[in-house]
Amino acid sequence: MIVLEKRPTPSRFWGAATPVAAVFLTMIAGGIMFAALGKDPVEAIRIIFWDPLFNAQFASYSRPQLLIKAGPLILIAIGLSLGFKAGIWNIGAEGQYIIGAICGAAFGLAFWPSESPLLFPGMVIAGLIGGWAWAMIPGVLKTRFRTNEILVSLLLVYVAEAILASAATSWLRSPDAMGFPGSRNLARHPGTDNPELIAGTGMHWGVLAAFIAVIAAYVLMNRHVLGYQIRLAGQAPRAARFAGVDPNRLVLLCLGISGALAGAAGLFEVSGPAGQISIDFNVGYGFTAIIVAFLGRLHPIGILLAGLLMALTYIGGELAQLMLGIPAPAIQAFQGMLLFFLLALDVLSNYHIRLKRTEAA
Amino acid sequence: MKLTRRVLTATALATGLVAGSAIAQDDPFTVGFIHVGSTGDMGWTFTHDQGRIALDEHFGDAVETVVAESVAEGADAERVMTQMILGGADMIVATSFGFGPAVNAVAGRFPDVYFEHATGYLREHPNVSTYDARFYEGRAVMGHIAGHMTESNIIGYIASYPIPSVIQGINSAYLHATQVNPDVEFRVIWANTWFDPAIEADAAQALIDEGADVIFQHTDSTAPHAVAQEAGAFAFGQANDMSQFAPAPRISAIVDNWGPYYIERAQAAMDGTWEQTAAWQGLSEDRILIGEISEAVPEEVRASAMALRDSIASGEYHPFTGPINQQDGTPWLAEGETPEDGPLAGMGFFVEGLTVELGN
């Protein structure tokens, strides 16, 4: 029988090296998969990891796209990482992202066709509040009735999707759309738009917010008492209670912050890259951000790098689809391998594997 | 095949060009297809991919196609289309309604690339065309068959989203089912998805539990057929023939036939005769086909259904011919009147007799 035995002190070196090793192993396993599909594995890996950054034909376009794709991932993952560190599992960031986008867009559309400079800040606040409020549902249910926040937050994603569909087909539908679904285009209207701040960089308010969130989370975790409480609650919940940490307050704070950041990410997306509320507005950022958070070791700088890496595999994966005809599901499997290897290596760096003889009971 | 390939042909050499200065004119006309779903969905995206294959086969080496599937609408679609064009695509075919804003944004940046956008209505640049099919014409024939085939007089309808093409379909099916069987009742379930086998199967089961013995679907998977098969109910193929379920539960189908359109448009682009259009074609142009009506349907019904099909295809009969009232009783079409294409394309109401509401 194989037994896992916890290592008394997990290696610090492997803690930092596992993400790199996971990427490396993903390249090998993915390469084998691409070869089995009859594609040149070296070329496929080069297209995915190298071409979006350095291919003369694509790079000037795809480099800024990295920021556009990574921005929401980083912003959401930063919020999630606080809760994950404290052992509070918000799996429903996708739903909070949707509700944030709907609230922010609804705020902007309520004053249509105003072009007031106050409009966009108001939309951001509405987005923050929308995401926060959606996350408060699992938060209050957990603190009041001890429900499981994993299930409640996840199931609320499907509720949010239903609300999104009804918003896109009825109450936020553009009057100019001749009966077709979708709201007015926020990105093409001054006042409600989230424009590129420096032309040709892909940098919009949401990307800037993601960078600010990285810095703020770093300061919070290292310099603030709340960061200390979060780490303590995650590592030693009983000790945390003796140290005076109120677990309910921590649940509400962590869920609230992650919900608000996810909501803001939704607002920045709907007013910028996506442009409008549509039936299929959400594209899975809230779920992918969970991978990003873990790939980044729940550390702000790690999340920044992991977000950029995930964005790279998306954009490179699309290029591989176009240039080599690799089917989309194979690209998704490739991304899945990344998380698989990371988790597998995590187990190995935290545990010994021992072979034990089973004894007759 | 790589998108970036540049071929130095014998012609180029013969005209005395220095080797190495490969010229773009020599490479094939490249058409990039972008789908929101998977080409393996056996429904909507599958039929568009069949159209792409037909395009490939028709032109041989002169046309090359590339495909991006499962592309999310919005920023992702914009990026994928741009990358296709940077990789050498001369024409973009976007097969989902939700790609509209992205198509127009990219089209503005690349005025020399031709864009074909399925089921859309936005044409903000002269290089953007939209195309759609008159699915409601096929729905009329299916409604006719359903009205004859139901014994419980309850017909189930799995709808995706309350948008014009779906609403047209429900109205058309209902009108032609009641035409042959005035006692027919329609039960509609909004699945709020285009493709989700589990939800579609649940919806089909719920309709059957309510007594429905004929099931329509405006969603893309074959899951409702599997449920209908078990319950002994009838169903219709959607987008694709779904003939693996014939002769029952699948008794007929509306088959989308995009290949000829793609061939025509690519030819026009290569000839320099491409012009912006808003194509809305149906049975008369063979944009949709009626899948073979199976032997589970009585001979005389098969004949009357085909007669209905022929009268629509010849233009002799319009599936929406008055008198027709709206759901709330307000008159829509007077005796013998038919609707203009404009308002019909944006249809946002149900006809009298239907109890369904917009959305749920």
The minimal CB distance from A180 to the residues B2, B83, B97 is found for B97
Residues B88 and B188 in one domain: no
Report CA-CA distances (Å) from A126 to A87, A265, A342, B306.
28, 12, 36, 56
Nearest to B4 among A57, A181, A269 (CB): A57
Whether residues B16 and B85 fall in one domain:
yes
Q: Directed axis angle between helix B197-209 and helix B223-231, to 10°? A: 30
Q: In Å, how far is B109's CA from the nearest CA of chain A? A: 13
Tell me: do B54 and B143 sit in the same domain: no
Residue B55: closest CA among B95, B104, B86 = B95
Strand B114-118 with B154-159, pairing? unpaired
Q: What is the pLDDT of residue A358?
A: 62
Residue B267 lies in a domain: no
Q: Supply the pLDDT for residue B1.
A: 35
Residues belonging to chain A with any Cβ–Cβ distance to chain B shorter than 8 Å: 57-58, 61-62, 65, 68-69, 161-162, 165-166, 169-170, 177-182, 185, 269, 273-276, 278-281, 283-284, 314-315, 318-319, 321-325, 327-329, 332
In SS3 terms, chain A reads as CEEEEECCCCCHHHHHHHHHHHHHHHHHHHHHHHHHCCCCHHHHHHHHHCHHHHCCCCHHHHHHHHHHHHHHHHHHHHHHHHHHHHCCCCCCHHHHHHHHHHHHHHHHHHCCCCCCCCHHHHHHHHHHHHHHHHHHHHHHHHHHHCCCHHHHHHHHHHHHHHHHHHHHHHHCCCCCCCCCCCCCCCCCCCCCCCCCCCCCCCCCHHHHHHHHHHHHHHHHHHHCHHHHHHHHHHHCHHHHHHCCCCHHHHHHHHHHHHHHHHHHHHHHHHHCCCCCCCCCCCCCHHHHHHHHHHHCCCCHHHHHHHHHHHHHHHHHHHHHHHHHCCCHHHHHHHHHHHHHHHHHHHHHHHEEEEECCCCCC
Asked if the structure places residue B106 within a domain, the reply is yes
**Domain final residue, candidates B105, B133, B161:** B133
Strand partners, B190: B159
The answer to the question of residue B5 being in a domain is no
Q: Which of A136, A135, A254, A276 is nearest to A193 (CA)?
A: A276
Q: How far is A128 from chain B (nearest CA, A)?
A: 22
Helix axes B75-86, A300-324, angle to 10 degrees: 50
Q: How far is CA B153 from the centre of its chain?
A: 28
Q: B164 and B79 in one domain?
A: no
Residues B156 and B224 in one domain: yes
| Residue whose structure tokens are 């424009």 | A195
Residue B317 within any structural domain of the chain? yes
Same domain, B295 and B316: yes
Q: Measured between alpha carbons, how far is A218 from A110 in angstroms, rounded to an integer? A: 37
Is-contact B64 B29, C-beta < 8 A? yes
Residues of chain B with confidence (pLDDT) below 50 = 1-25, 360
B86 shares contact with chain A (CB less than 8 Å): yes
Could A323 and B3 be called an inter-chain contact, meaning their C-beta atoms sit closer than 8 Å? Answer: yes
B298 by DSSP, 3-state: which?
A: coil
Asked if B24 is an interface residue toward chain A (Cβ–Cβ < 8 A), one would say no
Residues B97 and B74 in one domain: yes
Query: pLDDT tens digit string along A57-114?
Result: 888 888 999 999 999 999 999 999 999 999 999 999 999 999 999 999 999 999 998 9
Does the distance separating the beta carbons of A179 and B101 come in below 8 Å? no
Which residue's structure tokens are 């379920």?
Answer: B245
Contact A49, A20 (CB under 8 A): no
Chain B residues near residue A322 by CB distance under 8 angstroms: 3, 32, 66, 68, 80, 83-84, 87
Cβ separation of A283 and B348 shorter than 8 Å? no
* Chain A residues with beta carbon closer than 8 angstroms to that of B347: 179
Indicate whether B153 and B53 sit together in one domain.
no
Nearest in space to B158 (alpha carbons), one of B121, B122, B194: B194
- The reply to whether B106 and B158 lie within a common domain is no
Q: Give the model's pLDDT for residue B88.
A: 92
Q: Quick check: B101 and A161 CB within 8 A?
A: no
Shortest CA distance from B167: residue in chain A:
A179
- B98–A328 CB contact, under 8 Å: no
Nearest-angstrom CA–CA distance, A102 and A126: 9
Domain end: B93, B111, B133, which one?
B133
From the CA of B343, how many Å to the nearest CA of chain A? 8
Interatomic CA distance for residues A74 and A285, integer angstroms: 10
Tell me the per-residue pLDDT of B192-219, one tens digit each, with 9 for 90 and over: 888 899 999 999 999 999 999 999 999 9
Nearest by CB to B359, which of A161, A170, A273? A170
* Token pair for A274: 């996506």
Examine residue B266 and state whether it is found in any structural domain, yes or no.
no
User: What one-letter code names the amino acid at A175?
Assistant: P
- B66 CB within 8 Å of a chain A CB: yes
Assigned domain for B172 exists: yes
**Residue B185, phi then psi, degrees to nearest 5:** -120, 140
Quote the minimal CA–CA distance from B49 to chain A in Å: 13
Which are the contacts of B106, defined by CB distance < 8 A and separation ≥ 6? B78, B81, B82, B85, B92, B113, B115
pLDDT score of A243: 84
Chain B residues 175-234 with CB within 8 Å of chain A: 192
In a domain, B159, yes or no: yes
Residue B83 in any domain: the answer is yes
pLDDT score at B14: 33
Q: Does B74 touch chain A (CB under 8 A)?
A: yes
Q: Is A22 exposed, middle or buried (0-12, 13-18, 19+ CB in 10 A)?
A: buried
Strands B288-291 and B250-256: antiparallel
Q: Which residue of A has its CA nearest to B168?
A: A179
B158 and B95 in a single domain? The answer is no
pLDDT in tens, chain A (361 residues): 778 888 777 777 777 788 889 989 999 999 999 999 999 999 999 999 999 999 888 888 889 999 999 999 999 999 999 999 999 999 999 999 999 999 999 999 999 989 999 999 999 999 999 999 999 999 999 999 999 999 999 999 999 999 999 999 889 999 888 778 899 999 889 989 998 898 888 899 999 999 999 999 999 999 888 888 998 888 888 888 888 888 899 999 999 999 999 999 999 999 999 999 998 899 899 999 998 998 888 999 999 999 999 999 999 999 998 889 898 899 999 988 988 998 888 888 888 888 776 655 4
- Judged by CB atoms closer than 8 Å, whether chains meet at B192 and A61 is answered as no
pTM of this structure? 0.86
Interface test mutation site (partner A, options B163, B166, B199, B349, max chain A beta carbons within 10 A): B163
Do B142 and B217 contact (CB within 8 A), yes or no?
no
Pair B91, B143 in one domain = no
**In chain B, what residues touch A182 (CB-CB under 8 Å)?**
98, 100
B128 CB near a chain A CB, below 8 Å?
A: no
Residue ending a domain, among B87, B106, B133, is: B133
Whether B87 and A276 lie within 8 Å, measured CB to CB: no
The H-or-E segment that residue B266 falls in is helix B259-271
Closest partner residue to B83 among A279, A284, A319, by Cβ?
A319
Q: Residue B220 sits in which domain range?
A: 135-255+290-345
Q: B38 and A68 in contact by Cβ < 8 A?
A: no
Number of domains in chain B: 2
Q: What are the structural domains, with CATH classification, of chain A?
A: 40-325 (1.10.3470)
Nearest residue of A to residue B3, measured between CA atoms = A323
Write out the two tokens for B44: 């909507």
Whether residues B238 and B311 fall in one domain: yes
Q: pLDDT for A49-59, tens place per residue?
A: 999 999 888 88
CATH number at residue B73: 3.40.50.2300
Q: Residue A307's closest CA among A320, A319, A321, A290?
A: A290
Task: Tell me the two tokens of residue A33.
Answer: 């998969």
